[in-house]
Structure 1
Amino acid sequence: MLKYIAQRVVLAICIMLVATSGLYAIMVSLPGDPTTILLGPRSTPEMRADFRAQMGLDDPLVVQIVQLWGRLLTGELGTDYARNRSVASAIFSALPHTVALIFCAISWAATLGIVLGAFSADRRGGWLDRITGVVSVALLAAPSFVVALYSLLIFGVMLRWFPTIGAGETGDLGSRIWHLVLPSFAIGISWVGYIARIVRASMLETLGESYIRTARSFGLPRRVVIYKYALRVAILPAVQVLGVGIGGMLSSAVFAEIVFSRPGLGSLIFESVSGRNYPVVMGAMFVAIGFFVACTLLADLVNIVLDPRQRAGR
């Protein structure tokens, strides 16, 4: 178990190293001079040259990447030149909004998807199974930005059931939750169908296992066999997918935060990329990559805990 955890941690560190370095290399290779954008069109060549030297953009790419990792490892994420603040304060003021949005979306999507998948497998070939199959495929085909736009227009503008912009009043939990409804619906709806299909397929496979037949032979009620014994194993593939899904929702959160004018890590990255604000982009991307890797690692460890067969195999 400890050996497996150590291997996964080392792999996670390598992924962060390669992904962050690659993103930085791509970003600095983009056309355009970031100093002109940050300093404005009236800046003199001398001012731009001094600013480039201050940002370290005149050094070779390898040196820039080494310096970047030196700053990241010491916790020095740099300065947000556009707003004259530290990158760390910019990131950690935006991060809670994105984390709340992602976990709200994945919580209701996972709950509904697992329930639909289990019911569908329990009633294989029935009307609920057919409806779930059609709805699942339809939800999988719906892009998050399209869902965000239409949910904003229908439920926010036309029906006026939910607020359309912002993250709610500070200190008002009810307002914060109410403002999360539409954005979490937009980025979570496609995962309902995905998780339902995974749980259904896994449940059908699990119901054919020998220990399930043994449980049935002892006369245990059907619901106990399915929802107590079979479902515990059937949700394991969904748990692993959820680890990737939580991290992958960061990309969907970008669209949701832009459409609904929410503060968050996604909108911060979008604004920083548009303004070529390299320190903020790299600091935010480092946190986003770390969040993604941590969620994937946590999902693997949860799978090991839930599935004794994997512990024995290790």
Structure 2
Amino acid sequence: MLPIILRRLGLSVPLLLVVSAITFLLESFVPGDPARTLLGLNATPEQYAALRAALHLNEPVAVQYWLYLSGVLHGDLGTSLFTDEPVLGLIGQRLPVTLALVIGATGLASLVGVLLGVHSATRGRFSRRVVDVVSLLGGALPNFWIALLLVALFAVRFALFPATGYTPFTESPGQWAAGLVLPVVALAIGGVAMIAKVTRDAMLTTLGLDYIRTLRASGVRPASLIWKHALRGCGLPVVTTIGLTMIAFIPGTILIENVFTLPGLGTTVVDATNQHDLPVVQGVAVTFTVLVIVVNLVVDILYGLLNPKVRAE
């Protein structure tokens, strides 16, 4: 297990470099001039030239990236060009909102998806058709449309949950949870469909294996047969799907946070992109990449727990 973790961590270093380099290069092509935006139209040419020199905007892109990378290696992600706030501190403030969305949506999608998949695999063709329909709708309907529909129904018409805004957990746990219900549901619906379909297909295959038939003939209770033996037997594809779903939720928070006006990394990166605030964009891109690496690492660990052959590699 340890070699697998070390190998995964070793591969994450070049991945972070590639992501940061691509983000830096793409951001350099975005129209706009940070110096002109900061100073406004009334600045003198001398002020404009001095600010561009201070921000190293006159340097080639490769030199700018090297200067940025040198700061990162010393634990400095830079400073926002517009708020003069350290990027690391800004990410630390916004990251809990994004994590709450991703973790909540993953937990909800996993629970509902696995339950629906197991039920459809054990209850006949009608349930399987329902899962197929749900999977089709969940994959076809965009998250932002689902979010707007949830707001119209449960925030405007029935006034059960707040439509926008975010309350920190330390201020009011109840309001914090209520404010996350609609965003989490909107983000999770697509994941529910995918997890349910994969669980259904894996369960149907596992229930037809010889060792399941032997356990059934030995008198093992149906509930134990399904939830303890069969579900564990199809754990690898289910865990893989949950991991991929969680990774898909990370960029998906960008739309959801903007719809519900949540102060997470999604709204932060949109604002920073509009302002051409490169240090913030870079910081969010690196943070998202780190989250993907962590999810993959957790999936690898779960592989080892579910399959002894993986631990022996």
Q: How high is the TM-score relative to the length of structure 2?
A: 0.94
Q: Which residue of 1 aligns with 2:249?
A: 249
Q: Percent identity?
A: 34
Q: Which residue of 1 aligns with 2:166?
A: 167
1:212, distance to aligned residue in structure 2 (A): 1.8
Query: How big is the alpha-carbon RMSD for the aligned residues of Structure 1 and Structure 2?
Result: 1.6
Counterparts of 2:211 and 2:66, CA distance in 1 = 54
Counterparts of 1:245 and 1:195, CA distance in 2 = 8
Counterparts of 1:242 and 1:14, CA distance in 2 = 25
Q: Secondary structure at the match of 1:37?
A: helix
Worse-superposed segment, 67-76 or 48-57:
48-57
Worse-superposed segment, 85-94 or 187-196:
85-94
CA contact (8 A) 2:81 2:277 kept: yes
Matched, 1:14 2:26: no
Question: Structure 2 vs 1, CA of residues 123 and 72 (structure 1 numbering), >3 Å: closer, same or farther?
Answer: same
Q: Which residue of 2 aligns with 1:193?
A: 193
CA contact (8 A) 1:168 1:178 kept: no
1:223, distance to aligned residue in structure 2 (A): 2.1
1:108, distance to aligned residue in structure 2 (A): 1.0
Q: Within 5 Å, which residues of 2 pair with 1:3-42?
A: 3-42=3-42
Counterparts of 1:43 and 1:159, CA distance in 2 = 51
Counterparts of 2:142 and 2:49, CA distance in 1 = 43
1:111, distance to aligned residue in structure 2 (A): 0.3
Counterparts of 2:212 and 2:310, CA distance in 1 = 19
CA contact (8 A) 2:155 2:161 kept: yes
CA contact (8 A) 1:248 1:292 kept: no
Q: Which 4+ stretches in 1 moved above 3 angstroms?
A: none
- Number of equivalences: 312
Q: Within 5 Å, which residues of 2 pair with 1:62-73?
A: 62-73=62-73
Matched, 1:143 2:142: yes
Q: Which residue of 1 aligns with 2:179?
A: 179
1:301, distance to aligned residue in structure 2 (A): 1.9
Q: Secondary structure at the match of 1:58?
A: coil
Which residue identity lines up with residue 162 of structure 2 in the other structure? P
Question: Structure 2 vs 1, CA of residues 63 and 241 (structure 1 numbering), >3 Å: closer, same or farther?
Answer: farther
Q: How high is the TM-score relative to the length of structure 1?
A: 0.94
Counterparts of 2:297 and 2:214, CA distance in 1 = 34
Which residue identity lines up with residue 24 of structure 1 in the other structure? F
Q: Which runs of 5+ in 1 are unaligned?
A: none
Counterparts of 2:250 and 2:261, CA distance in 1 = 16
Counterparts of 1:26 and 1:144, CA distance in 2 = 26
Counterparts of 2:85 and 2:19, CA distance in 1 = 26
Matched, 1:156 2:150: no
CA contact (8 A) 2:194 2:241 kept: no
What whole-Å deviation, never above 9, does each CA across 1:207-249 have from its counterpart, x for those lacking one?
A: 2333222322322122211111110132322222222322321
Counterparts of 1:43 and 1:258, CA distance in 2 = 33
Question: Structure 2 vs 1, CA of residues 31 and 51 (structure 1 numbering), >3 Å: closer, same or farther?
Answer: same
Matched, 1:311 2:301: no
